[in-house]
């Protein structure tokens, strides 16, 4: 044992403590994953060393044979992992192995319910990392030295995984990290060559550098060499460099877990080698669930970038548009220079062509998923649909393609679930229909009974029901699909085109003429509140509705703008009444102007309520209504 100096005991950060506790008590059913996590870290550490050595070859300290070694001692009940990667300085070890929780940890912990069963499946989704060592070990020791630091600046970190850890400065001749796991009683099975080999094959075969185990020794004990012979147990070639046909689904899935730090399987992936003017390989994954920080602007996103197999950076976000920020994976380019930086990436025209090709790949992959695995696509849509809806605004060139991937609730099917595609809708168009009708609103419950739908129900025409906050904004970017334009049924003067027969139209004109007097009276009564009053042809059951002016902001957009503190331009609705409704007939026949005025205002306010809007003067509404009720019962 070498001399330890500057020894101190430090407490784990609160979040780390909670996480450790949870992990130790909930991941008992799949303990072997600790090895995958530690190998994944070792591989990352080697990637980082390779990258830093591009600029500073002296970091390799003469040893450029990068590898991971896993050994064990049955008697001492230990498993040891050793890598010759970048290593950690004392400050780094303190920060990364105890005092800085991974980003998202706090959010994650907030989501816990306290219900052991639910929480154990949640932690599974979180990505467990270094601390998973404590699933099988009751003491973990880390010996590490940052490449480039002197041998005397090694670090010894040790912890029992409870409240604190010890850290000391020690001598360490080789750069890199050695982790010693002191197995808990009951976990001795891992101090076994056969067991370790199987776990490595299962989870870490895709790792692009050799993982070695000591070769089994069959001779007599006295002949056993002091230093074992080592044997490589994985394939040790970067997974994306292999031909597709030589990679199994399980290997693709394990590789996904390595690059994404996700614990679950991806929904889908796409692996492509591009040759020609540009040369690169990409392996892109659609995750099975949304990360906690999907909507946080600053959240890390992007692909792992390699140049000619050399790791360059994590989270290279220049290769995909923002609306595909949930995609994980790797891109390995032969065209970029090894000393490419983020600044260069932002300017390089090569990146632009790669970005548009990769974007198309992802959209194709989603199309394929939707077609061949509709159930999986539903999961995708639940998790990422809202993000994909940002697409038409961000990516004009792929607008139609993105539109085809969108899913909506509809009067046609799904009972409020977002399952109807625009393709489905178009395939069900009524004879004579050349428009796609939609209605936006706050919730499915609110829009499904909207008076705006009455005429569509009567004629059996499907209407898309859009209730996500950003839907109205989305629809301002979508003007047509498959040559059919979109019509907001709550907007303007609804013209059903050839869906109304010539007789219908004639009858409508006649009714409108006969009600000119009522229109004028209503205009006078409602005054400044309305932009226009007119006879409606879209109502069967309701007395009146409010339509939005063709150019005006709808309710959702107004609410979004108001919430963000912006000034909302004034706009007045159009009051449309149903001439055949008994209430309107009564109104028409009302000789008393005061009562006419009260009734008109009540109808106006009710129409606003039915549209999901709030009343400007609710007290006045209640007063008028009560007055009428009193008269009624008198």
Interface residues toward ligand ADP, by CB under 6 A: 37, 41-42, 45, 83, 85-88, 96-97, 102, 129-130, 177, 261
Residues, the chain = 634
Q: How far apart are CA 36 and CA 272, in angstroms?
A: 26
C-alpha dihedral, 613 to 614 to 617 to 621, nearest 10°: 80
Q: Which H or E element spans position 225? A: none
Q: How far is the CB of 144 from ligand ADP (least distance, A)?
A: 6
CB 136 within 8 A of CB 181: yes
Q: How far is the CB of 101 from Mg ion (least distance, A)?
A: 13
CB 268 within 8 A of CB 369: yes
Cβ proximity to ligand ADP, 176 vs 391, nearer residue: 176
Pick what 573 binds: Mg ion, ligand ADP, none; C-beta below 5 to 8 Å, kind-dependent.
none
Pick what 262 binds: Mg ion, ligand ADP, none; C-beta below 5 to 8 Å, kind-dependent.
none
Cβ proximity to ligand ADP, 70 vs 354, nearer residue: 70
Q: How far is the CB of 97 from ligand ADP (least distance, A)?
A: 6
440 lines the binding site for Mg ion (CB under 5 A) = no
Pick what 85 binds: Mg ion, ligand ADP, none; C-beta below 5 to 8 Å, kind-dependent.
ligand ADP
80 phi and psi, to 5 degrees?
A: -125, 135
Neighbours of 482 (CB within 10 A): 14
Pick what 88 binds: ligand ADP, Mg ion, none; C-beta below 5 to 8 Å, kind-dependent.
ligand ADP
143 phi and psi, to 5 degrees?
A: -110, 125
Pick what 547 binds: ligand ADP, Mg ion, none; C-beta below 5 to 8 Å, kind-dependent.
none
Cβ proximity to Mg ion, 41 vs 268, nearer residue: 41
How many residues bind Mg ion, per CB under 5 A? 3
Cβ proximity to Mg ion, 45 vs 183, nearer residue: 45
Pick what 191 binds: Mg ion, ligand ADP, none; C-beta below 5 to 8 Å, kind-dependent.
none
Neighbours of 47 (CB within 10 A): 22
Directed axis angle between helix 116-126 and helix 14-26, to 10°? 110
Pick what 96 binds: ligand ADP, Mg ion, none; C-beta below 5 to 8 Å, kind-dependent.
ligand ADP
129 lines the binding site for Mg ion (CB under 5 A) = yes
Q: How far is the CB of 152 from ligand ADP (least distance, A)?
A: 19
Cβ proximity to Mg ion, 40 vs 281, nearer residue: 40
Q: How far is the CB of 39 from Mg ion (least distance, A)?
A: 9
Q: Six-digit token pair at 567?
A: 């000034």
- Closest residue by Cα to residue 208 from 169, 251, 244: 251
Q: How far is the CB of 423 from ligand ADP (least distance, A)?
A: 40
Q: What is the DSSP annotation of 475-490?
A: HTT--EETTEEEEETT
Q: How far is the CB of 87 from ligand ADP (least distance, A)?
A: 6
Cβ proximity to Mg ion, 50 vs 261, nearer residue: 261
Cβ proximity to ligand ADP, 129 vs 321, nearer residue: 129
Q: How far apart are CA 239 and CA 247, in angstroms?
A: 8
Cβ proximity to Mg ion, 311 vs 381, nearer residue: 311
Q: Given candidates 23, 33, 41, 499, which one binds Mg ion under the rule CB under 5 A?
A: 41
Cβ proximity to ligand ADP, 71 vs 410, nearer residue: 71
Q: How far is the CB of 567 from Mg ion (least distance, A)?
A: 48
85 lines the binding site for Mg ion (CB under 5 A) = no
- Closest residue by Cα to residue 47 from 203, 201, 258, 217: 258
SS3 state at 30: helix
Cβ proximity to ligand ADP, 260 vs 411, nearer residue: 260
Q: How far is the CB of 48 from ligand ADP (least distance, A)?
A: 7
- Closest residue by Cα to residue 36 from 216, 249, 253: 253
Q: How far is the CB of 40 from Mg ion (least distance, A)?
A: 5
SS3 state at 544: strand
Q: Six-digit token pair at 135?
A: 């699933």
SS3 state at 617: coil
Pick what 45 binds: Mg ion, ligand ADP, none; C-beta below 5 to 8 Å, kind-dependent.
ligand ADP
Q: Six-digit token pair at 29?
A: 């059913």
Report the site for Mg ion in 11-40 (rule: CB under 5 A). Answer: 40
231 phi and psi, to 5 degrees?
A: -135, 135
Q: Which residue is nearest to ligand ADP (CB)?
A: 129
Neighbours of 198 (CB within 10 A): 13
Q: How far is the CB of 130 from ligand ADP (least distance, A)?
A: 4
Binding segment toward Mg ion, per CB under 5 A, in 125-133, 165-173, 369-377, 399-407: 125-133
Binding segment toward Mg ion, per CB under 5 A, in 124-132, 200-208, 350-358, 390-398: 124-132
- As beta bridge partners, residue 329 has 284
Pick what 422 binds: Mg ion, ligand ADP, none; C-beta below 5 to 8 Å, kind-dependent.
none
* Angle at 494 (CA atoms; ends 488, 500), nearest 5 degrees: 125
Cβ proximity to ligand ADP, 49 vs 496, nearer residue: 49
Cβ proximity to Mg ion, 130 vs 437, nearer residue: 130
Neighbours of 468 (CB within 10 A): 16
Cβ proximity to ligand ADP, 130 vs 240, nearer residue: 130
CB 456 within 8 A of CB 489: yes
Pick what 392 binds: ligand ADP, Mg ion, none; C-beta below 5 to 8 Å, kind-dependent.
none
- The sheet that has 328-333: what strands, in order across it? 268-274, 280-286, 328-333, 303-307, 310-316
Q: How far is the CB of 174 from ligand ADP (least distance, A)?
A: 13
**Torsional class of 527: left (φ above 0), alpha (ψ -120 to 50), beta (otherwise):** left
Cα radius of gyration rounded to whole Å, the chain: 33
CB 236 within 8 A of CB 209: yes
For Mg ion, the binding residues (CB under 5 A) are 40-41, 129
């Amino acid at each position: 044992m070498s001399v330890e100096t500057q020894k101190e005991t430090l407490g784990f950060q609160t979040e780390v403590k909670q996480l450790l506790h949870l992990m130790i008590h909930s991941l008992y059913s799949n303990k072997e994953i600790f090895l995958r996590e530690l190998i994944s870290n070792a591989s990352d550490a080697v990637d980082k060393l390779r990258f830093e050595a591009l600029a500073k070859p002296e970091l390799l300290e003469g040893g450029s044979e990068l590898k991971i070694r896993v050994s064990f001692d049955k008697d001492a009940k230990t498993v040891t992992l050793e890598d010759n990667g970048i290593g950690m300085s004392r400050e780094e070890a303190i920060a990364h192995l105890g005092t800085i929780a991974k980003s998202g940890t706090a959010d994650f912990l907030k989501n816990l319910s306290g219900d052991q069963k639910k929480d154990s499946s949640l932690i599974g989704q979180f990505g467990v990392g270094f601390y998973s060592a404590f699933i099988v070990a009751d003491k973990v020791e880390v010996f590490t030295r940052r490449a480039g630091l002197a041998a005397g600046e090694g670090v010894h970190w040790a912890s029992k995984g409870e409240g604190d850890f010890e850290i000391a400065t020690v001598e360490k001749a080789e750069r890199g990290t050695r982790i010693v796991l002191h197995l808990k009683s009951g976990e001795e099975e891992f101090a076994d060559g056969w067991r370790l080999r199987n776990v490595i094959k299962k989870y870490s075969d895709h790792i692009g550098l050799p993982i070695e185990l000591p070769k089994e020794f069959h001779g007599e004990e006295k002949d056993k060499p002091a230093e074992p012979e080592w044997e490589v147990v994985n394939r040790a070639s970067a997974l994306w460099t292999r031909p597709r046909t030589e990679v199994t689904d399980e290997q693709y899935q394990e590789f996904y877990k390595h690059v994404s730090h996700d614990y679950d399987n991806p929904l889908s992936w796409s692996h492509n080698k591009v040759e020609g003017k540009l040369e690169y390989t990409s392996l892109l994954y659609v995750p099975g669930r949304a990360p906690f920080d999907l909507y946080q602007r600053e959240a890390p996103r992007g692909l792992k970038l390699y140049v000619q197999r050399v790791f360059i950076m994590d989270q290279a976000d220049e290769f995909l548009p923002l609306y595909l920020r949930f995609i994980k994976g790797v891109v390995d380019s032969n065209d970029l220079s090894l000393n490419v930086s983020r600044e260069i990436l932002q300017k390089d025209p090569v990146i632009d062509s790669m970005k548009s090709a990769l974007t198309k790949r992802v959209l194709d992959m989603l199309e394929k998923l939707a077609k061949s695995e509709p159930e999986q696509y539903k999961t995708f849509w639940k998790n990422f649909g809202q993000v994909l809806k940002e697409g038409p605004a961000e990516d004009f060139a792929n607008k139609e393609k993105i539109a085809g991937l969108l899913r909506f609730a509809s009067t046609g099917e799904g009972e409020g679930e977002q399952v109807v595609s625009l393709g489905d809708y178009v395939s069900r168009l009524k004879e004579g229909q050349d428009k796609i009708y939609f209605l936006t609103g706050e919730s499915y419950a609110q829009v499904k009974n909207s008076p705006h739908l009455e005429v569509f129900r009567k004629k059996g025409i499907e209407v898309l029901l859009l209730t996500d906050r950003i839907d109205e904004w989305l629809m301002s970017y979508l003007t047509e699909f498959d040559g059919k334009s979109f019509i907001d049924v709550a907007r303007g003067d609804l013209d059903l085109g050839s869906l109304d027969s010539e007789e219908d139209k004639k009858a409508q004109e006649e009714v409108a003429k006969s009600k000119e007097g009522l229109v004028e009276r209503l205009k006078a009564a409602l005054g400044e509140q309305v932009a226009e009053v007119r006879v409606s042809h879209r109502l069967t059951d309701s007395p009146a509705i409010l339509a939005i002016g063709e150019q005006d902001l709808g309710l959702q957009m107004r609410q979004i703008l108001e919430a963000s503190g912006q000034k909302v331009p004034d706009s007045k609705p159009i009051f449309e009444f149903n001439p055949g409704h008994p209430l309107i007939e009564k109104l028409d026949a009302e000789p008393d102007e005061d009562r006419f005025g009260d009734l008109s205002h009540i109808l106006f306010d009710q129409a606003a309520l039915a549209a999901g809007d709030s009343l400007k003067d609710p007290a006045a509404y209640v007063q008028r209504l009560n007055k009428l009720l009193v008269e009624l019962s008198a």
